[in-house]
Chain A
Amino acid sequence: RKEVEQDPGPFNVPEGATVAFNCTYSNSASQSFFWYRQDCRKEPKLLMSVYSSGNEDGRFTAQVDKSSKYISLFIRDSQPSDSATYLCVVNMNYGGATNKLIFGTGTLLAVQP
């Protein structure tokens, strides 16, 4: 079983739709979580960090449920420019001072104009 799991998609949605990405992780000791965006043939770029209380940045909202080990990202009023792959990232603690960021394989989003 993968340590971080995402639906690979693709998600094909019309412009203006609300999109929800979900991610599950295995390590209950994980403390920090992130969403990255990756455009085709480009590097991953940090979209937002995910805080325990949830956080919002414009059209983007991120939440984490540590009891369920579940992370989500919502995009409201999606735009064609949001088309990309969205990567869920979890900081896994392996005991002591050993932490590693584990990347999900990503969910591909295509927003149709």
Chain B
Amino acid sequence: DAGITQSPRYKITETGRQVTLMCHQTWSHSYMFWYRQDLGHGLRLIYYSAAADITDKGEVPDGYVVSRSKTENFPLTLESATRSQTSVYFCASSEDRRQPQHFGDGTRLSIL
């Protein structure tokens, strides 16, 4: 039982391209989250979702789009990638907003 999986694990692309990072969880958790992690900043919340069709901005949402048409999936799209979006992206899920979050193993994204 993988729990929460992210794909791809690694991605290299060019500035201006659209990139979609996938996240899938099998726990039927209501909440799902996207974070980016950069040296000196720790984990920063990009977007989160409390349930299907409900999404909300986090700390650093600019340049990103999310959707949640199904409870188990929460894709993150960079509509026009910039070099500043080079980072490690983690997806996470939790049963409710007070419970600890469980993380996928991350996507390492490089934008050239």
Contact = CB atoms under 8 A, between A and B. Distances in A.
Contact of A106 (B42, B90, B94, B99): B42
Nearest to A97: B97
B43 interface: yes
A101 B101 contact: yes
B98 A87 contact: no
B60 to A, nearest CB: 13
A25 interface: no
Grouping DSSP codes into helix (H, G, I), strand (E, B) and loop, the A interface class, with mixed when no group exceeds half, is strand
Given A43-B90, A43-B105, A44-B90, A103 B100 contact: no
A59 interface: no
A90 to B, nearest CB: 11
Contacts of A101: 94, 100-101
Interface residues of B, number: 20
Contacts of B105: 42-43
A103 B90 contact: no
Grouping DSSP codes into helix (H, G, I), strand (E, B) and loop, the B interface class, with mixed when no group exceeds half, is loop
Interface in A13-43: 31-32, 34, 42-43
A91 interface: yes
Contact of B43 (A31, A42, A91, A103): A103
A52 to B, nearest CB: 14
13 contacts: A43-B90, A43-B103, A43-B105, A43-B106, A44-B43, A87-B43, A91-B97, A100-B48, A100-B58, A103-B43, A105-B41, A105-B42, A106-B42
Given A43-B104, A45-B103, A101-B101, 9 more contacts: A32-B99, A42-B106, A43-B90, A46-B102, A49-B100, A91-B98, A97-B97, A101-B94, A103-B35
Interface of B: 35, 40-43, 45, 48, 58, 90, 94, 97-106
List the 8 closest pairs (A to B, CB-CB), nearest first. A105-B42, A43-B103, A99-B97, A103-B43, A46-B100, A43-B105, A34-B100, A32-B98
